[in-house]
Amino acid sequence: MLLLGIDLGTSSIKVAVVDPATQQTLATAQYPDTEAPILVRFPGWAEQSPDTWWDHVQQAIRKVHASGAYDPQDITAIGIAYQMHGLVLVDKEQRVLRDSIIWCYSRAVPYGDKAFAAIGEKKSLAHLLNSPGNFTAAKLAWVKENEPSVYERIATVLLPGDFIALRMTGEATTSIPALSEGIFWDFKEDTLSEDLFQYFGFDKKLIPAVQPVFSSHGGLKGDVAQALGLKKGIPVTYKAGDQPNNALSLNVLEPGEVAATAGTSGVIYGVSDQLVYDPASRVNSFAHVNYTPARKRVGVLLCINGTGILNRWIRDLANGRGGGTSVGGGLTGPGDDGSRGAAGRDGWDYVSLNEAAGKINPGSEGLVVLPFGNGAERIFNNRIVGAHIHNIDLNLHTPAHIYRAGQEGIAFAFRYGLDIMRENGMNPSVIRAGKTNMFLSSVFTHAFVNATNVPVELYDCDGSVGAALGAGIGAGIFRSEKEAFADRKPLQWVGPDKAGEYDVLYGQWKEVLERELAK
């Protein structure tokens, strides 16, 4: 009896096969090996192809089977985690009608803002816990107005994970957490929002059957099972957005517990037992994976779009690449010890850049980076601020300075957002995170804990593993969410050691940010 977990990320698909008896991961795989692109046809656009996602899921599953670490016929349940807030539209034949409008798409903001005003800000926040802002419902409204021929053919509106489950099972389902992240759900009435559907003129028939997160979302179709070497009828028993899934993976389920991630985007995610919301909708509240009308568990989510994507951009620039286009040479300096920018024959990779950045003093000798270059940022009321590099001294600063300043800028963005969460009653004493993505960098990790003045517990945590164990909960193999993750122990504890110094540096960074915001 084994479990298959799928994590549909922005950059790639990750899969894992887990033995629920031991909670041990038998094999993992990722596809593609390089980061998948975001399609940006015009400013403000951010799209990906759902059919490409499905192809990559299949490739990843075949790749993990090729490890030979288990018998694929022993897999008995499937779980899916996915990038949040995406819009997938299919017709009555379950064909994709257009590319998915993903989480960092910006053009839907005016539609959400108008709905917020029309419904009434107080009522919207009390019932939806958010402004419709830049979320899935507003993206659907954009399609309705700008692509009416597409809108007329829609049979079902899906979140990204709902779509992958549809391809696997032929059945369209969703959940309360999925609908809440799309801003379709009324928390006061515990039903689809009458106000939102009436304002936008949406037909509720576009929403598929609503199922509990931990339940059967259909069985694997025969042709899919044959193509993937799996048994026909294996149920998909768990679907959740990537951030609630990450929190589940870190055993963050009860009020006061807090998780963080730092991948393409960065997130701090805390759990409350109240229907809490930020009056300015700068941080957002969604139903957590263990939410029920009788036992409310709300995830309060701070999201910073420009996180790992900035880290990758600086790496690519250092190697003479910028957004896939040559920029006429890498960022190289005169030294040969890494800290002065010697790329070497093989160019910069994350490890060498992290090592070089570690040799630069905190504050990067006055260099300041604002990381907000990946669409509209919620912490600024969906304003597009852009990424900025300030105070460059051409005689002093090297790629290592830029790389360190970038990672510190991301840490300071987390501090800025966490201060908003603190205003709303979320005061973590410790934050749990997977030792992956940017938390693999000691420079970033120490900047994060010192900027926020909150210790971090780092775990061996992967979204696909969490999705697999979530499938075990949904299949009834585990009696509870806590049981599925009871044996998780932290790999490392990192506490603040230079909080005072970083508080001064944060103040300097914030001054630069506020000047940009005032423009």
203-229 residue pLDDT tens: 999 999 999 999 999 999 999 999 999
| C-alpha count within 13 angstroms, C-beta hemisphere, residue 139 | 29
Q: How confident is the model at residue 365 (pLDDT cuts 50, 70, 90)?
A: very high
Alpha helices (H) in 345-461, listed in sequence order: 350-357, 399-423, 442-452
What one-letter code names the amino acid at 450? N
Specify whether 339 is located in the same domain as 256.
no
Residue 258 covered by a domain: yes
DSSP 176-234: HHHHHHTT-EETTTTEE-HHHHHHHT--GGGS-EE--SBS---B--HHHHHHHT--TT-
Q: What is the dihedral angle through the alpha carbons of 30, 33, 34, 36, rounded to the nearest 10 degrees?
A: -40
Q: How confident is the model at residue 326 (pLDDT cuts 50, 70, 90)?
A: very low
Greater confidence, 349 or 116? Answer: 116
Residue 341 belongs to what domain range? 308-419+495-517
Residue 485 has pLDDT above 90, yes or no: no
Specify whether 369 is located in the same domain as 511.
yes
Write the pLDDT tens digit of every residue in 391-421: 999 999 998 999 999 999 999 999 999 999 9
Q: How confident is the model at residue 74 (pLDDT cuts 50, 70, 90)?
A: very high
Residue 445 covered by a domain: no
Specify whether 285 is located in the same domain as 330.
no
Q: How confident is the model at residue 338 (pLDDT cuts 50, 70, 90)?
A: very low
Specify whether 185 is located in the same domain as 258.
yes
Specify whether 183 is located in the same domain as 321.
no
Residue 432 covered by a domain: no
**Contact (Cβ atoms closer than 8 angstroms) between residue 276 and residue 285:** yes
Average pLDDT, the chain: 92
What was the pLDDT predicted at 164?
Answer: 98
**Contact (Cβ atoms closer than 8 angstroms) between residue 186 and residue 238:** no
Q: Is the dihedral of CA 270, 273, 278, 282 positive or negative?
A: positive
How much of the chain, in percent, has pLDDT values that exceed 90? Answer: 81
What was the pLDDT predicted at 270?
Answer: 96
Residue 383 covered by a domain: yes
Q: How confident is the model at residue 320 (pLDDT cuts 50, 70, 90)?
A: confident
Residue 198 covered by a domain: yes
What was the pLDDT predicted at 322?
Answer: 56
Specify whether 187 is located in the same domain as 326.
no
Residue 386 covered by a domain: yes
CATH number of the domain at 229, please: 3.30.420.40
Specify whether 92 is located in the same domain as 161.
yes
What was the pLDDT predicted at 110?
Answer: 93
What was the pLDDT predicted at 346?
Answer: 52
Residue 335 has pLDDT above 50, yes or no: no
How much of the chain, in percent, has pLDDT values that exceed 70? Answer: 95
Range with lowest mean pLDDT among 186-195, 242-251, 484-493:
484-493
**Contact (Cβ atoms closer than 8 angstroms) between residue 243 and residue 269:** yes
**For residues 281 and 265, what is the distance between their CA atoms, to the nearest angstrom?**
18
What one-letter code names the amino acid at 14? K
Write the pLDDT tens digit of every residue in 271-286: 999 999 999 889 999 9
Residue 397 covered by a domain: yes
Instruction: Quote the number of domains for the chain.
Output: 2
Helix (H) or strand (E) run with residue 127 in it: helix 121-128
**Contact (Cβ atoms closer than 8 angstroms) between residue 77 and residue 477:** yes
The pTM score is 0.87
What was the pLDDT predicted at 382?
Answer: 83
Specify whether 214 is located in the same domain as 353.
no
Residue 187 covered by a domain: yes
Burial class (CB in 10 A: 0-12, 13-18, 19+), 493: exposed
Specify whether 342 is located in the same domain as 298.
no
Specify whether 263 is located in the same domain as 361.
no
Specify whether 68 is located in the same domain as 31.
yes
Specify whether 246 is located in the same domain as 324.
no
Residue 172 has pLDDT above 80, yes or no: yes
Q: DSSP 3-state assignment of 99?
A: coil
